[in-house]
Structure 1
Amino acid sequence: MTSGQDGATTARPTSRDVARAAGVSQAAVSLVMGGKWRGRVSEATAERVRAAAEGLGYRPNLAARNLRTGRTRTALLVVPALTNEFFAGVYTGAARVAAEHDFGVVLYPSPDGIGPARDPFPNARAALDGVLASSMAADALTDLRGGDDLPLVMLDSDPAGSPGATTVNLDLADGIRQLVDHLRAHGHQHFLHLASAVDSWTFDVRARELAARTADSPGTTVRTVRSALTVEDARATTERALRTSGLVEPTAVICDDDKLAAGACKAARRMGLRVPDDLSVTGFDDLSLATAIDPELTTVRLPAEEFGAHGMRALLAVLDGRAAETAPLPVRLIVRGSTGPAAPRP
C-alpha cells in the first residue's frame, strides 16, 4: 500500500496492472521484469512493458519472486584485499552488471588473502546464488562453497586448477609480449625482473611469458628478484639488486605491478640514476599511481571494471544454464615517460 498526497491509502500497482497497461500477458511482464525476455518476447514488447511499469511506479516483489524461484539474487565477490585499486574496479563493474539484472553483490575480502576463504555466512548456500572470486585459487573457496554446491566463476585464476568452475581471465601473456617488444624496439637486452613475492597464478603467467619471450633472443639476459607488494620493499629490493647486478648491468626493470615500479623508480633516484636516461622502468595494471610519479609510468593497462562486468555476465550465464563467454579480455600497453632508449653498458 502507498499513501497519496491527501493521506489516502492506495494499492501498489501489480503485474496485472502493468500487463493491462502494456496490452500483454502477466507472463510477459514477469519475463521482462525478470530479465529473461530475450528470445521469448520482442524488443518492442519489452520496451512497452518497461514503459508501463515506470509509468505506474511498479516494482517487482523480489522477496516473493525469490521464494517462488528458490533464488536469493545475491552473488558474493571474494577478493584478496580491499586496499588494491584493481579490485575496487572489479567490484564496480560486477555490481553494475548485477544491478542491471536485479542482483545484489556482497563484497568479501578474504581474511587470509589468497589463502582459504572462510564462509562469512551461517550458510552461504542458503544466502547466495553464486560466487565470483578474483585472483585466488579455486580450492581456496572449497569451505565457502560447501564443496561444489555453489556456482563459481574465477577471475584472474588458473583454468587448469579450477575444476568445476568457470574461469574468465585477462590476456596477461599478451601484455608481457607488448611490453617486451616495446623495450626491445628501444634497444634493451638486459632486464631486471622485479617480481611479486605473492605465490599466485597471475604472477606466474607474467614470469613464464617473460622467460619465453626472452629465451630465444641471443645476448638477452633476465635476472629475477622478488619483493613484497609495497613501494618501500620494492625500493629496497631494487637497490640491492642494482648494487649486485653481476657482469651485465640491466638497462630496464620489468615490474609485476605499478607499486613495484614506483619502488624501482625511487631506488633509481636514490642511486643517482635517471629514469629513463640511465634505466627504463615498466609496471603492470595502470593504477592511478602510474601517473602520480615523475616521469609517468609505462605500464600495461588492465581493464578492471570491464573485467568485473565480464565476470558477472559469466556468472549470470552459468546460473541461467547458458554457455559463458570466457575468451581472455585484451590488455593494452600504455607508453609514458619511464621508458626510453637503452643506455650503453660496459
Structure 2
Amino acid sequence: MPPTRAATGRPTSRDVARAAGVSQATVSLVLGDKWRGRVSPGTAQAVRQAARDLGYRPNLAARHLRLGRARTALLVVPALSSEFFARVYTGAAEVAAAHDVGVVLYPSPEGVGPAPDPFGPARAALDGVIASSMAADALAALRGDGLPLVMLDSDPDRAGSAATVNVDIAAGMRQLTEHLLALGHRRLVHVAAAVDSWTFRVRAGALATALGGVPGASVHTEPAPLSVAGGLSAAERALTRPGPRPTALVCDDDVLAAGACKAVRRLGLRVPHDVSVTGFDDISLATAVDPELTTVRLPAEAVGAAGMRALLTVVDGGVAEVTTLPVELVTRTSTAPPPTPA
C-alpha cells in the first residue's frame, strides 16, 4: 500500500487522486504525460491542479525503476566554447526538463573526430545520445549496443538508422549568395572553415551552385581555422592576391567574418564601401562588430529542442521523422553594392 501524507509528511499520488476524484492510475497517466487519448482534457487539468494545490512532487527514482530507464540523455558537441552549441544545449535541456529527463553535456575532445567513451560500464545509465556535427561512425564507442541516437547538423545519408535533425544550410548559403549578386557583386572569396564536416561541405557546394551560370561571377576559396585570427589571415591573403580585388568575402561563420572585417581595416579599406563581408549563424558577435554583419540566422535552440523530442520518440519505441528546420537571411550594414571602378 503506498504511503499517505500522514506517514511521510508529504502529499502522495493517493492524496492527489482523492483531491481530483480520480484513480491513482489516472494520476500516473496525467503526471507521466501519457494521458492523451486515455483521459479527458478536463480530467487531466483537474489532476494537475490538484497536484499544484497539494504541492505534490513525484518520486522520480521510483518512477525510473518502474520504467526501467535512466531518464538521462547524452548531448555530444564539438566544443563548449561555441555560442551556437550552448544554445543547442539550452533548447535540448528545456524539452528534457519538461519530461523529467536529465542532460549530460560532453564535448568531444577531437571536435568532429571520433569521441572516446567517457562512461565505460556506466553507459547503461544513458537512455540515448544526441550528437551534433559529428559523423555517425565516430560514435560507436559511445552508443554501445543499439543505444538510441539522434544526429544534429549531420549528413543524413551517413546517419544510417539514426534520426536526423538539420537546418537548411544550403538554402541559407543560396539566399546569402543571391543577396550579394543582387547588389552587383561578381568577384567573391569564400573564407571557408578548415574543418572536414558535412555542414561546411554543404555551404561550399551551395555557394558554387548559386554562382554557376552567372556571367562574370567567380569565387576563390581561402581555407581558415575556425577563429578570428584564422579569418583575419585568410581575408588578408585574399585581398592581397595579384589581380582584381574581390568585392565580397563570404565567411563560413560569424567568427571568421569578424576576423575578415579586421583584415579589411588593417589594409586601409572599409566595410562595406570597399569590401562587403558576410557571416553565418547569427550569434551575438554578429551585432557586436561594427558594421553589424549580414548573416544567416540558424535556429540553434530549435535544433536542440527538436533533437531531444526525436530522441524521446525513439526511446519510447516510436520512429522519429527526418527534420529540416528553416533558416533566415538577416541583412545588416556589412554588405552594400561593390565600389564603382575608377
TM-score (norm 2): 0.95
Q: Distance in 1 between matches of 2:334 and 2:321?
A: 36
SS state at 1:309 partner? helix
CA RMSD of aligned residues (A): 1.8
2:211 is matched with which residue: 211, 214, 220? 214
Q: Which residue is equivalent to 2:172? A: 175
Q: Deviation per CA, 1:244-278: give whole Å up to 9, x if none.
A: 1x443211000000010011110000111110011
Distance 2:226 2:39 in 1: 51
- Among 315, 322, 326, the alignment partner of 2:311 is 315
Measured in 1, the distance between the counterparts of 2:318 and 2:244 equals: 54
2:250 corresponds to which letter in structure 1?
Answer: I
- Cα 1:124/1:115, change in 2 over 3 Å: farther
Partner amino acid, structure 1, of 2:329: L
Mapped contact 1:249–1:345 kept (Cα < 8 A): no
How far is the alpha carbon of 1:345 from its aligned partner? 4.7
Cross-structure match for 1:189: 186
Shift of 1:124: 4.8
Instruction: Tell me the alpha carbon deviations over residues 287-328 of structure 1, each in whole angstroms, 9 at most, x when there is no partner.
Output: 111111111111001111111111111111111223324331
Q: How far apart are the structure 2 equivalents of 1:155 and 1:327?
A: 10
Number of equivalenced pairs: 340
Task: Give the Cα–Cα distance (whole angstroms) in 2 for the partners of residues 221 and 303 of structure 1.
Answer: 30
1:59 offset after TM fit, Å?
1.4
Give distance in 2, aligned partners of 1:69 and 1:314: 19
Using the aligned pairs only, state the percent identity.
67
Tell me the residue number matched to 1:303.
Answer: 299
Do 2:26 and 2:39's aligned partners in 1 also have CA atoms closer than 8 Å? Answer: yes
Residue aligning to 1:24:
22
Q: Deviations over 1:137-156 (max 9, x none)?
A: 11111111114x11000000
Moved more, 52-61 or 297-306: 52-61
State the alpha-carbon separation in 2 of the partners of residues 43 and 139 from structure 1: 44
TM-fit CA distance, 1:183: 0.7
Alignment of 1:1-346 (within 5 A): 10-147=8-145, 149-244=146-241, 246-345=242-341
Q: Distance in 2 between matches of 1:145 and 1:84?
A: 24
Asked if 1 retains the 8 angstrom alpha-carbon contact of 2:238 and 2:246, the reply is no
TM-score, scaled to structure 1: 0.94
Secondary structure of the corresponding residue to residue 333 of structure 1: strand
Q: Is 2:271–2:334's contact at 8 Å kept on the other side of the alignment? A: yes
> 5+ unaligned residues in a row in structure 2: which ranges?
none
Task: Work out whether residues 163 and 321 of structure 2, in 8 Å CA contact, stay in contact via their aligned partners in 1.
Answer: no
Contact 1:259 1:289 in 2 (8 A): yes
Change (3 A) 1:182 1:124: farther
d(CA) in 1 for partners of 2:97, 2:318: 19
Gaps in structure 1 of 5+ consecutive residues? none
Give the 3-state SS of the residue equivalent to 1:168 in structure 2. strand
Whole-angstrom distance in 1 between the partners of 2:190 and 2:49: 56
- Whole-angstrom CA distance in 2 between matches of 1:190 and 1:259: 22
Task: Give how far 1:122 is off.
Answer: 3.0
Distance 2:233 2:20 in 1: 67
In 1, the alpha carbon distance for the partners of 2:133 and 2:98 equals 25
Check conservation: 2:128, 2:148, Cα contact below 8 A.
yes
Secondary structure, aligned partner of 1:123? helix
Shift of 1:194: 0.2
Cα displacement (A) at 1:197? 0.3
1:77-114 alpha-carbon deviations (Å, 9 max, x no partner): 00011000000000001000100111111111112211
Give the direction of change, closer, same or farther, for the CA distance of 1:9–1:37 in structure 2 (3 Å limit).
closer
| More displaced stretch, 323-332 vs 270-279 | 323-332
Q: Is the 8 A contact 2:80 2:86 kept in 1?
A: yes
Structure 2 CA distance, aligned partners of 1:39 and 1:273? 65
Shift in alpha-carbon separation, 1:345–1:131, aligned structure 2, 3 A: farther
